[in-house]
């Protein structure tokens, strides 16, 4: 799977580790920066990752900032993006199976690298349960919400 990967300075160290971890699992990385520890603004990198996923230049995206929260808020502003902040493997698996989350957000200052690797593995192995009516119905309601408020407050 091609994974768009981005981070601000708070997520830079974890992003660096993911750059080698993901190919080790057989995935291709679309590196969207930041590529150094200098201060960077998380919305810029969340935007790059979210846009790459929304435009189907990558199948899924991962954004890392200090807490994961800012990246998640920003990524969710891009239509077509369902970003989830996951710091446990249960949420990482379920957010794909139930919610079809296509961008994973991580807090580089919250989780250690080994837990982050487990979270990423659980998230990447999960598939949306598209045959189950209740999950499709709920996803369609989320999509309708996005459409309803796309151009108005």
Residue 71, helix vs strand vs coil: helix
Interface with ligand RB5 (CB under 6 A), residue from 6, 61, 66, 84: 66
27 is catalytic: no
Token pair of 130 as six digits: 């598209």
Task: Count the residues of the shown chain that bind ligand RB5, applying the rule CB under 6 A.
Answer: 8
Please give the Cα distance from 141 to 63 (Å, whole number).
25
**Going edge to edge, which strands form the sheet with 28-31?**
28-31, 2-7, 60-65, 103-107, 83-85
Nearer to ligand RB5, 3 or 63 (CB): 63
Interface with ligand RB5 (CB under 6 A), residue from 12, 42, 45, 128: 42
Residue nearest to ligand RB5 (CB): 70
How far is CA 97 from each of CA 10, 31, 43, 131, rounded to the nearest angstrom? 28, 26, 27, 11
Q: Does 67 bind ligand RB5 (CB under 6 A)?
A: yes
Residues 6+ apart with CB under 8 A from 129: 97, 98, 135
Nearer to ligand RB5, 59 or 73 (CB): 73
105 is catalytic: no
Q: Does 59 bind ligand RB5 (CB under 6 A)?
A: no
The residue annotated as part of the active site, out of 9, 27, 65, 72, is: 65
User: Which residues are near ligand RB5 by CB under 6 A?
Assistant: 8, 10, 42, 65-67, 69-70
């Amino acid at each position: 799977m091609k994974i768009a990967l981005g981070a601000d300075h708070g997520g830079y160290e974890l992003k660096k580790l993911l750059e080698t971890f993901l190919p080790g699992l057989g995935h291709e990385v679309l590196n969207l920066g930041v590529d150094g520890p200098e201060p960077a603004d998380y919305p810029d990198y969340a935007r790059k990752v979210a846009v790459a996923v929304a435009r189907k230049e990558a199948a899924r995206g991962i954004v890392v900032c200090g807490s994961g929260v800012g990246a998640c808020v920003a990524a969710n502003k891009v239509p077509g993006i369902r970003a989830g902040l996951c710091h446990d493997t249960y949420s990482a698996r379920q957010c794909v199976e139930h919610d079809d989350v296509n961008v994973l957000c991580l807090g580089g200052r919250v989780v250690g690298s080994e837990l982050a690797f487990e979270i990423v593995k659980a998230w990447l192995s999960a598939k949306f349960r598209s045959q189950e009516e209740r999950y499709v119905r709920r996803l369609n309601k989320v999509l309708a919400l996005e459409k309803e408020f796309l151009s108005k407050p």
